[in-house]
Structure 1
Amino acid sequence: MAGDTSEIVLSRQDLREVAGFAAACAEAVLEVFETDQPDDPRPREAVRAAWEFARGGERGKSLRDTASAALKAAKSAQTAAAREAAWAAMSAAGAAYLHPLAKATQVKHILGAGAYAARAAELVADDDQRAGAEFLDQVVRRATPVVVDVLKRFPAAPDGGGRVGELIRALDADLRSLTLTE
């Protein structure tokens, strides 16, 4: 459908705001991974690269490499919570690569780190979904007006994706309902 592939205007500053938001979400659960794998710096390096881009760095090989490394780190995790925390870090580094296409699947670039981090929080709390809801409340408070504006340029999050998909859709709905001013 033509509407699914139309271009959305995204500035470099928009991408930096999204990356900073994602980095803050992932950073909140890095300890979950590091408790499981104390000698593996790959998720922290992915979050650091996301912060570097958010603060004015280049969008290049470092982001891609650290995102890929965090994905590999997730595979080495001993617990599901640590795996989700590493995926949050991978998503943070990948947030800078939000594509300017009006596709619902792009919403995961904006909200994936927050949703994976919320899932990690649930798993740490013995799979208690209230912990995920509380984490999502924190994520909503982290969202800047620019992040909310960027999100609203895209279609609503798509169906599917298991529990993380549910968390993305909940976060999407919460952020879209906000009326923020800078």
Structure 2
Amino acid sequence: MSAAVVLSKDDLRAVTAFAAASAETVLGIFEADQPGDPRPREAIDAAWAFARGGERGKALRDTAWAALKAAQNAHTAAGREAARAAMAAAGAAYLHPLAKATQVKHILGAGAHAARAAELAAGESAADQLERTARRATPVVVDVLTRYPAAPDGGGRVGELTRLLNAALRARPA
């Protein structure tokens, strides 16, 4: 059994704000792919609403699932990853207080999917996007991250980007 991680609502709000800001950076990639589909934007808006004091509930869950379905309709891989970043932003509010490496995806998933979307859209390395994402992480986000084990293996390119972001944030001076 995994140990419990102490998480306050303020911790969850900080993580969700970080995820929403990360996903927002690539929303335009999805919107260029699917200009009439508001679902990823709605997921990011729901994440921001929670981060700014709203409740964690049905709107977050529904918009996260809707953004995931929007990803399935995107014409490009970059558009799919941008929609997944939005899904991860809304899902960040559901970080569980279990000391499991898989929970790191709730903290860093939006940033990793955003980096992959940017990489696919630009055909370049995701390093610059990851660097900007790492700079966006507040001390609270880094503190929450360090309460969990390091990001897990696997997950393809997005998993690799998650581990790179994880390592960058954990290497920050306290």
TM-score in terms of structure 2 length: 0.99
Q: Does 1:123 align with 2:120?
A: yes
Determine the structure 1 residue equivalent to 2:144.
150
Q: State which of 94, 99, 113 in structure 1 corresponds to 2:96.
A: 99
- Aligned-partner residue type, residue 161 of structure 1: G
Matches of 1:109 and 1:22, distance apart in 2: 8
What is the RMSD computed on CA atoms of the aligned residues?
0.6
Query: Equivalent residue of 2:152, what SS?
Result: coil
Determine the structure 2 residue equivalent to 1:44.
41
Q: Which runs of 5+ in 1 are unaligned?
A: none
Determine the structure 2 residue equivalent to 1:10.
7
Determine the structure 1 residue equivalent to 2:165.
171
- Aligned-partner residue type, residue 167 of structure 1: L
Q: Percent identity?
A: 72
- Aligned-partner residue type, residue 109 of structure 2: G
Matches of 2:31 and 2:56, distance apart in 1: 26
Determine the structure 2 residue equivalent to 1:141.
135
Determine the structure 2 residue equivalent to 1:81.
78
Deviation at 1:96, TM superposition (A): 0.1
Matches of 2:44 and 2:23, distance apart in 1: 7
Q: State which of 48, 68, 71 in structure 1 corresponds to 2:68.
A: 71
Query: Equivalent residue of 1:178, what SS?
Result: coil
Query: Equivalent residue of 2:67, what SS?
Result: helix
Matches of 2:28 and 2:159, distance apart in 1: 23
Deviation at 1:125, TM superposition (A): 1.2
Matches of 2:160 and 2:134, distance apart in 1: 15
1:34-80: CA deviation from partner (whole Å, max 9, x where unpaired): 00000000000000000000000000000000000000000000000
Matches of 1:59 and 1:70, distance apart in 2: 17
Deviation at 1:83, TM superposition (A): 0.1
1:103-131: CA deviation from partner (whole Å, max 9, x where unpaired): 000000000000000000000112x22xx
Which stretches of structure 1, 4 residues or more, deviate above 2 A after TM superposition? none
Deviation at 1:98, TM superposition (A): 0.1
Q: Which runs of 5+ in 2 are unaligned?
A: none
Q: State which of 50, 53, 59 in structure 2 corresponds to 1:53.
A: 50
Matches of 1:139 and 1:20, distance apart in 2: 12
- Aligned-partner residue type, residue 73 of structure 1: A
Matches of 1:67 and 1:144, distance apart in 2: 23
Matches of 1:77 and 1:43, distance apart in 2: 11
Matches of 2:170 and 2:85, distance apart in 1: 21
